[in-house]
Amino acid sequence: MVFAAARRLIGSTYRKFALDPEVAADAQIAAADFLGRKDGIFSGWTDLSVEASDFGQKIIYPEESTPHPDYSKPLIADVIGYSKVKRIDIKKAERMQGVLEMQRILKQKARGPMIGGFCFGPLGVLGMMRGTEHLFRDCLRYPDKVKTGLDIISDVLAEYVAAQCDNGACMITLDTLYASWAGLSKRLWEEIEGPFVKKLSGIIRSKGRMVGVHNCGQGAYFDSQIKYMKPDNISFAYLPDDCSSPSELKRKYGHKVTLTGYVSTALLMHGTPFDVTRECNRIIKELAHGGNFVLAPQCEFPPDAPLENAIAMVKAARYCPETLSD
């Protein structure tokens, strides 16, 4: 759960963490040591800009903030641009190769055997190259043109997830942010991105790995994501669109997937360890009974949040009665 925040443990900048596989791997190992979990799952991932960068989108790498596209220079400037997305060879894709290299280094250096992989969903990658606002309008007005771009991108992502599986990642998480109320309508998401992520999920499964889904959008469509990706795990930030309470979430989906969430980003940034522990205990009580639950932040652990709050989460998970009894 501690990704970019781990850079602080080895005195690295965010920029170095994102661009240097050795630094990223060392940061992950330091985080595992810091949190006292020598047999944990290491994150083989840095940030959301990896895939779009390799397709040619200009990315800005601030010294101490999350890398992001230069939105003043979108790779896809108009709807015609979707058909101009170039199929890339992942062997020559610098950032994807960086992530794969980081996973290899982790495997060699780390004491824990498990490494997690990650891939931004094809629509998310397209959003980075077109700008979300334009992409949303295009999905309604020119769905076929958007699908042309998605077709090329998902072919490349298929190779990328396969390479992560071959690297030994135990679970590849697909980020399908726009499958939520804050993104596209359910019908439109199923039409536009559903079939493409179904293909990616199938590849991961065919390699004998687990499929994870991360969606930190408000009102995520658990039903649609399960329908298309059959994930083992869904990491979420808010209740799904068809649940009005955590107990309903547990009842409806707790037996279908491992629920992973959902400690507030804002609380992790500014709460005390006491506040965090109290919130973790509340969430564990709501969702951990009967198993199939992983305590995690809503999104990644905030890159600049106090690391004491990560320790508070680990302690809450380790010592709460629900965990001990299970």
Partner 1 sequence: MKSGNKTIIGLKKAVSSHDRQYLQFCLRAAFEEGAGLNDIKSAMISGLEGVKARLMSNDFSIPEFLLCVDTVTSGLNEISGMKDYSSTDKGIRLVIGTVDGEPHDLGKNIIAAVYRAAGYDVLDLGRQVASDLFVREVINNDAKILALSAMMSTTAPAIKDIIVEINIKSPHTVVLAGGACLDRALSENYGADGFAESAVTVLEETQKALQNQARTKDT
Asked if 90 is part of the footprint of partner 1 (rule: CB under 8 A), the reply reads: no
Asked if 91 is part of the footprint of partner 1 (rule: CB under 8 A), the reply reads: no
Block residue for tokens 């995690």: 296
Instruction: Pick the closer one to partner 1 by CB: 69 or 117.
Output: 69
Q: Which of residues 15-54 bind partner 1 (CB under 8 A)?
A: none
| Among 164, 173, 264, 277, interactor with partner 1 by CB under 8 A | 264
Asked if 248 is part of the footprint of partner 1 (rule: CB under 8 A), the reply reads: no
Instruction: Pick the closer one to partner 1 by CB: 153 or 184.
Output: 184
The secondary structure of 88-142, three-state, reads CCHHHCHHHHHHHHHHHHHHHHCCCCEEEEEEECHHHHHHHHHCHHHHHHHHHHC
Q: Which of residues 105-134 bind partner 1 (CB under 8 A)?
A: 132-133
Q: How far is the CB of 266 from partner 1 (least distance, A)?
A: 4
| Among 96, 295, 305, 316, interactor with partner 1 by CB under 8 A | 305
Instruction: Pick the closer one to partner 1 by CB: 37 or 134.
Output: 134
For partner 1, the binding residues (CB under 8 A) are 14, 60, 62, 64-66, 68-71, 132-133, 136-137, 139-141, 181-185, 188, 216, 218-219, 241, 264-267, 269-270, 302-305
